[in-house]
Amino acid sequence: MAGIDLKELTKKQNPLTEGHRMCPGCGAPTAVRQALMAVEDPVVVVGATGCLEVSTTVYPYSAWRVPFMHVAFENAGAGISGVEAAHRVLSRKGVAREKIKFVAFGGDGGTYDIGLQSLSGALERGHDFTYICYNNQGYMNTGAQRSSATPISANATTSPAGSVIPGKLQRAKNLTEIVTAHDIPYVAQTTLHDPMDLIAKVKRAVETPGPAFVNVLVPCPLFWKIDSADQMKVCKLAAESRFWPVYEVTEGKHVLSYKPKNPVPLEDFLRVQGRYSHLFKKGRERMDLVAQGQADVDREWERLLKKCAG
Amino acid sequence: MSKPKCWQDVPPATIAWGASALDVETGLWRSMRPVLDQNKCISCLKCWLQCPDSSIKTSEEGRVCGINMFFCKGCGVCAQVCPVNAISMHQEADFTNEKREHGEDPGRVAGHVK
> Are A30 and B52 inside 8 Å of each other by CB?
yes
Report the DSSP beta bridge partners of residue B64. B58
- Domain contains B20: no
- Domain contains B43: yes
Lowest mean pLDDT among A47-61, A172-186, B7-21: B7-21
User: Among A18, A68, A192, A198, which would you mutate to test the B interface (most chain B Cβ atoms within 10 Å of its Cβ)?
Assistant: A18
- Report the pLDDT value the prediction gives residue B109, as an integer from 0 to 100: 45
Q: Are residues A133 and A109 in contact, defined by beta-carbon separation less than 8 angstroms?
A: no
> Are B68 and A18 inside 8 Å of each other by CB?
yes
Domain count, chain B: 1
Interface of A with B in 184-243 (CB under 8 A): 192, 195, 221, 227-233
Q: Are residues B56 and B78 in contact, defined by beta-carbon separation less than 8 angstroms?
A: yes
pLDDT tens per residue across all 114 residues of chain B:
566 677 777 777 777 677 888 888 898 899 999 999 999 999 999 999 999 999 999 999 989 999 999 999 999 999 999 999 999 999 988 887 776 666 655 444 444 443
- Domain contains B99: no
Size of interface A-B (CB pairs under 8 A): 128
**Residue-range domain boundaries for chain A:** 6-309
Contacts of B96 (CB under 8 A, 6+ apart): none
Using a CB-CB cut-off of 8 Å, the residues of chain A touching B109 are 60
Q: How far apart are CA A62 and CA A151, in angstroms?
A: 33
> Are B49 and A20 inside 8 Å of each other by CB?
no
- Report the pLDDT value the prediction gives residue B34, as an integer from 0 to 100: 95
> In 3-state terms, chain B is what percent helix, strand and coil (to 5)?
20, 15, 60
Q: How far apart are the first and last CA of chain A?
A: 26
Q: What is the mean pLDDT of residues A238-244?
A: 96
**Amino acid in position A26:** C
CA-wise closest residue to A277 among A160, A146, A173: A160
Percentage of chain A modeled with pLDDT above 70: 99
Q: What is the mean pLDDT of residues A23-38?
A: 94
Residue range(s) defining the domain that contains residue B76? 31-94
CATH number of the domain that B74 lies in? 3.30.70.20
Instruction: Choose the closest CB to A228 out of B48, B68, B76.
Output: B76
Instruction: Choose the closest CB to A25 out of B10, B24, B75.
Output: B75
> Are B15 and A232 inside 8 Å of each other by CB?
no
| A92 interfaces chain B, CB cutoff of 8 Å | no
Residue of A nearest to B77 (CA): A229
- Report the pLDDT value the prediction gives residue A197, as an integer from 0 to 100: 95
Contacts of A176 (CB under 8 A, 6+ apart): A187, A189, A213, A215, A249
- Report the pLDDT value the prediction gives residue A223, as an integer from 0 to 100: 95
Altogether, the residues listed in chain B come to a count of 114
Does domain A6-309 sit in CATH 3.40.50.970? yes
Contacts of A268 (CB under 8 A, 6+ apart): A237, A240, A241
β pairing state of A101-107 and A130-135: parallel
- Report the pLDDT value the prediction gives residue A244, as an integer from 0 to 100: 97
- Domain contains B6: no
Alpha helix (H) residue ranges in A38-95: 51-56, 76-92
- Report the pLDDT value the prediction gives residue B112, as an integer from 0 to 100: 44
Q: How far apart are CA B30 and CA A25, in angstroms?
A: 11
Q: What is the mean pLDDT of residues A240-261?
A: 96
Q: What are phi and psi of A279, to 5 degrees?
A: -75, -20
Q: How far apart are CA B48 and CA B34, in angstroms?
A: 13
- Report the pLDDT value the prediction gives residue B5, as an integer from 0 to 100: 76
- Domain contains B104: no
CA-wise closest residue to A213 among A180, A253, A239, A181: A180
The SS3 call for residue A87 is: helix
Q: How far apart are CA A171 and CA A148, in angstroms?
A: 8
> Are B26 and A34 inside 8 Å of each other by CB?
no
| B110 interfaces chain A, CB cutoff of 8 Å | yes
User: How close B56 comes to chain A (CA, Å)?
Assistant: 10
CA-wise closest residue to A208 among A188, A192, A194, A178: A188
B33 alpha-carbon distance from chain centroid: 12
Interface of B with A in 26-45 (CB under 8 A): 26, 29-30, 45
CA–CA distances in Å: residue B98 to residues A14, A307, A309, B15: 30, 58, 60, 34
Using a CB-CB cut-off of 8 Å, the residues of chain B touching A24 are 29-30, 52-53, 73-75
Q: What are phi and psi of A147, to 5 degrees?
A: -130, 180
CA-wise closest residue to B43 among B11, B82, B80: B82
Instruction: Choose the closest CB to B75 out of A33, A64, A229.
Output: A229
Q: Is A174 left (phi over 0), alpha (psi -120 to 50) or beta?
A: beta
Q: How far apart are the first and last CA of chain B?
A: 19
CA-wise closest residue to A63 among B52, B30, B13, B101: B52
Interface of A with B in 244-303 (CB under 8 A): none
β pairing state of B87-91 and B32-36: antiparallel
- Report the pLDDT value the prediction gives residue A263, as an integer from 0 to 100: 95
Using a CB-CB cut-off of 8 Å, the residues of chain A touching B103 are 19
CB atoms within 10 A of CB B76: 21
Residue of B nearest to A29 (CA): B52
- Report the pLDDT value the prediction gives residue B107, as an integer from 0 to 100: 47
Report the DSSP beta bridge partners of residue A101. A43
